[in-house]
A and B are shown apart, each in its own frame.
Chain A
Amino acid sequence: MKHSVLAAFRHGITPRLLSWLGVFLVGVSAFLYGALAEGAPRTDADRVYALAQNFGCPVCDGQSVAESDSVVARNIRAQIARRVDQGRSNDAIIAELETAFPGNDYTPGATGLSSLVWILPVVASVAGLSGLFFVFLRWQRETQSIATPVDEKLVTEWLSDATTTTAPTGATEPGDV
């Protein structure tokens, strides 16, 4: 065992690499355990609250059914509680409410015009990240095309001088271990 660890060190597995392996193993294990394990059981009240949060109060300005204390909101909360008691699914309950009070479901549909509210941010993200990717690519090419062999030689010489005298900016800092 001792020999194999030493051999691993000789082949480039440093204590830091082992530490990163530890981070990965412990972090992923703890995360997976916490993410997949059963939490505290959700009660019917929790379901009612979650559903009420996702539906707008039809007679209030900008308040959900969960937030409002108007009579209409209270009645809708009671209706949600009854439906939960009857064992209806979340989708069925919201669909019934949306039929009775159109335009108050806080989750826009994924079809038709309302689907744009879901699609456009994804398009914007892809466009932004692609733009960034191509800009970096262009800069890389420009850097490569600008540097001549003479430049590279000068940089290499400067770097070798710098490591013997002073460290290049940002490469190290006090306290780096």
Chain B
Amino acid sequence: MSNATLGTLLVTLGAVSALCGVVLGVFALFGWRVNFWRACTLLVGAMMAAALGAVLVMERALITRDFTVAFVAQNGSSRTPPLFNVATLWSALEGSILLWTLVLCGYVLAVVVKFNSRRHDPMMAPVMLTLFVVCAFFFLVMVGPAQPFIAFDPLPLPNGQPFDGPGPNPLLQNHILMAFHPPILYLGYVGFTVPFAFAMAALVTGRVGEGWLLATRRWTVMAWGFLTSGVILGAWWSYETLGWGGYWGWDPVENVSLLPWLTGTAFIHSVMVQERRPMLRVWNLSLVIATFSLTILGTFITRSGALESVHAFVESGIGPWFLAFFALIVAVSLALIVWRGDVLRSPGRIDSPLSREGAFLLNNVVFAVFAFVVLLGTIFPLIVEAVNGSRLSVGSPYFERMTMPIGFVLLFLMAVAPVLPWRKASSGVLSRRLIWPAWLGVAAILLSVLLGARGAAPLLAFGLGGFAGGAALRQLVLSTRRAGLRGLIGRTNGGMIVHLGVVLVAVALAASNSYVRQETFELSTGDTAELAGHTFTFVGTDLVEYENRVERQAGVRVDGGQVYAPAIAVYDFAGRLIGIPSVRSTLTDDVALSIANLSDDGQTVSLRVTVQPLVVWLWIGGLVMAVGTLLAIIPGSRRTSLMAGAVPHGVVQTPLEQPLNR
């Protein structure tokens, strides 16, 4: 059986299983639950097998260069290196939807395994129904507008050579991060499906208390961690590959990955308020729904070509499908919230704005405004075009001007919120707990000024960063004093490590954006240029042949030491020339070199040099955030006591509100 036929059969099996699951879920919703869980398990197993099988078939087709599969003919090549051959799966639309579906099925299978002990809980029927609906949508997209296994007849080329494909977009096969960034991003995007399913189930069953939050707490944090890592890896890939010396251009595709991160971050904080006090029910449900629906909206924007983007590698006709699904999610969710309006009224209240829950509430408003600014700026060109037909661009000056004050407020809250007690704080307590973090903030400003930093915005960022970092360190010192290394795990302490990562990222963003220097030099062999205290000597060119490309490299000696080799690569089959930058990273600054032009005789080069301080701390900060997320998922001492049967302080539980996964 050919790969195309086998793949089509597997995708069809997955679609049929998911649709059967939807029917089963609807029946279960109306009370017919005979063998419901067993049938669910079988159907989820079938979906997983179908998705995994389809991915393996596609990988086999890519690795063996089976050009009878149209996807391989369009995106594969005999010259693509092995690692990128595997990664070709997610370099184009059909394959990326296939990967998304596999990740989704993996999450659904994990839900079935994890909640097996709760299979008789009436809440599980709407949970599974929601998951089956989402799975059915993605399988149907693969049956409809994004079929990965269309058959193709690979005729020999006019010169008599056997057929060969162009390979993936050259930009997607010249850096190893391409192998990791999309799968990790998908693990984040798709992971929010699980809390979304529980939120919908809470609305359907009317059990809108804290049970669904506790059940999905770690799932949410895990998805958030993957999304964070995926976004930062994407910025890193962009920095190392695109050659313009930046990592974040406020491009629509970048923005849509930030949107669910913002709402997800707000949710992770506001959840703690609802766990302590039975309040913010509508708000938390809305945040989960917004986070999930923004991942779908983001996919629409990324794949439909509705907005111009440097990252829009794959455009197709699936846009209307995703837009319709987005509209369905929003409509059903709003209808359910309105329907459950009576039970969603929260009985709790906050005693004082000067409390941790008060700070979390303010943090949520700020995150919501942040998300609104990013969404508005991203879709505003579409709105203007729809209203008066004129063209308008919204770019980095707008986003930086609008988000900078928001970032300052968030850093300030990161400093103050962790030291605030629940319920109410006195000025004495605040004064006592904030004094050392405040001195750390002052020290950060002093040190920056002594090192030559100038300008209000970066100094404010460094000062607030020191303040927030001090507050997080204070919490970690206290908890490790009490519990040793165990004081680093659990939601609160892991969260503080995440805060430290955020501080590193914020400081790196402020420094690299404020003190970036860029200049283009015309250099002949032996010439030396100077920028920001660094010297660059053009030592000559070299021609290097790789399996999939030929590179013309320009040797540039940096600071009289090592020679770096930015290049222009020719992917002859794809017929494209792309620049390949070369970056020297140190803990203090990065020097990024890229070729703007290279003369035919290789004697002169137009060299673009970008010098940015502290860029490497962005990636280190991302790593710290990932480690913090992992530590936050591990149950801490408080969580351990919860699992042993204790009820968290302030949570009012009724039998229906019992957490599902003790």
CA distance in complex: A105, B246 (Å): 19
Residue in A38, A43, A102, A136 whose Cβ sees the most chain B Cβ within 10 Å: A136
- Residues of chain B lying within 8 A (CB to CB) of residue A171: 421, 426, 429
B594 — nearest CB in chain A belongs to which residue? Answer: A69
Interface membership of A39, Cβ < 8 A: yes
List residues of B (384-422) whose CB comes within 8 Å of A's CBs.
Answer: 384, 387-388, 390-398, 402, 421-422
Closest-CB distance, B247 to chain A (whole angstroms) = 11
Please tell me if the beta carbons of A107 and B392 are within 8 angstroms of each other in the complex: no
B17-25, B256-264, B439-447, B548-556 - interface stretch: B439-447
Please tell me if the beta carbons of A20 and B435 are within 8 angstroms of each other in the complex: yes
B70-78, B366-374, B620-628 - interface stretch: B366-374
Q: Which of A43, A74, A120 contacts B376 (CB 8 A)?
A: A120
CA distance in complex: A177, B474 (Å): 12
Q: Which of B368, B452, B482 contacts A128 (CB 8 A)?
A: B368
CA distance in complex: A56, B649 (Å): 54
Contacts A23-B442, A35-B456, A128-B369 known; A117 to B380 CB distance under 8 Å? yes
Interface membership of A113, Cβ < 8 A: yes
Please tell me if the beta carbons of B649 and A169 are within 8 angstroms of each other in the complex: yes
List residues of A (109-142) whose CB comes within 8 Å of B's CBs.
Answer: 113-114, 116-118, 120-121, 124-125, 128-129, 131-132, 136, 139, 142
List residues of A (53-71) whose CB comes within 8 Å of B's CBs.
Answer: 53-54, 56, 60-64, 66-69
Q: Which of A64, A113, A117 contacts B394 (CB 8 A)?
A: A117
Closest-CB distance, A103 to chain B (whole angstroms) = 3
Please tell me if the beta carbons of A30 and B310 are within 8 angstroms of each other in the complex: no
A109 — nearest CB in chain B belongs to which residue? Answer: B392
Q: List 10 additional A-B contacts (Cβ < 8 Å) besides A38-B454, A107-B397.
A: A27-B441, A34-B455, A35-B455, A62-B253, A77-B520, A114-B384, A121-B376, A124-B372, A171-B421, A175-B481
Interface membership of A95, Cβ < 8 A: no
Contacts A35-B454, A62-B312, A169-B423 known; A106 to B387 CB distance under 8 Å? no
- Residues of chain B lying within 8 A (CB to CB) of residue A129: 365
Interface membership of B358, Cβ < 8 A: yes
CA distance in complex: A44, B138 (Å): 52
CA distance in complex: A77, B519 (Å): 11
B354 — nearest CB in chain A belongs to which residue? Answer: A136
B213-221, B226-234, B345-353 - interface stretch: B345-353
B437 — nearest CB in chain A belongs to which residue? Answer: A23
Please tell me if the beta carbons of B459 and A61 are within 8 angstroms of each other in the complex: no
CA distance in complex: A69, B517 (Å): 18
CA distance in complex: A57, B308 (Å): 11
Closest-CB distance, B411 to chain A (whole angstroms) = 15
Chain A residues with CB under 8 Å of chain B are: 16-17, 19-20, 23, 26-27, 30-31, 33-35, 37-40, 43, 45-46, 49, 53-54, 56, 60-64, 66-69, 74, 77, 102-108, 113-114, 116-118, 120-121, 124-125, 128-129, 131-132, 136, 139, 142-143, 169-177
Closest-CB distance, A165 to chain B (whole angstroms) = 18
Please tell me if the beta carbons of A60 and B310 are within 8 angstroms of each other in the complex: yes
Please tell me if the beta carbons of A107 and B442 are within 8 angstroms of each other in the complex: no
B428 — nearest CB in chain A belongs to which residue? Answer: A16
Interface membership of B170, Cβ < 8 A: no
Closest-CB distance, A90 to chain B (whole angstroms) = 11
Closest-CB distance, B296 to chain A (whole angstroms) = 21
Please tell me if the beta carbons of A61 and B312 are within 8 angstroms of each other in the complex: yes
Please tell me if the beta carbons of A103 and B454 are within 8 angstroms of each other in the complex: no
Interface membership of B460, Cβ < 8 A: yes
- Residues of chain B lying within 8 A (CB to CB) of residue A40: 452, 454
Please tell me if the beta carbons of A34 and B244 are within 8 angstroms of each other in the complex: no
Please tell me if the beta carbons of A30 and B384 are within 8 angstroms of each other in the complex: no
Q: Which of A27, A53, A56, A128 contacts B442 (CB 8 A)?
A: A27
CA distance in complex: A108, B388 (Å): 15
Q: Mark B475-486, 1 if CB is under 8 A from A, else 0.
A: 001100110000
CA distance in complex: A43, B518 (Å): 10
Contacts A46-B517, A113-B387, A169-B649 known; A34 to B421 CB distance under 8 Å? no
Please tell me if the beta carbons of B396 and A56 are within 8 angstroms of each other in the complex: no
Contacts A62-B310, A136-B353 known; A106 to B393 CB distance under 8 Å? yes
Interface membership of B596, Cβ < 8 A: yes
- Residues of chain A lying within 8 A (CB to CB) of residue B380: 108, 114, 116-117
- Residues of chain A lying within 8 A (CB to CB) of residue B391: 102-103
Instruction: Please provide the 4 A-B residue pairs with the shortest distance between their CB atoms, ordered closest to farther.
Output: A170-B421, A106-B395, A103-B391, A39-B454
- Residues of chain A lying within 8 A (CB to CB) of residue B246: 67
List residues of B (603-646) whose CB comes within 8 Å of A's CBs.
Answer: none
CA distance in complex: A33, B454 (Å): 8
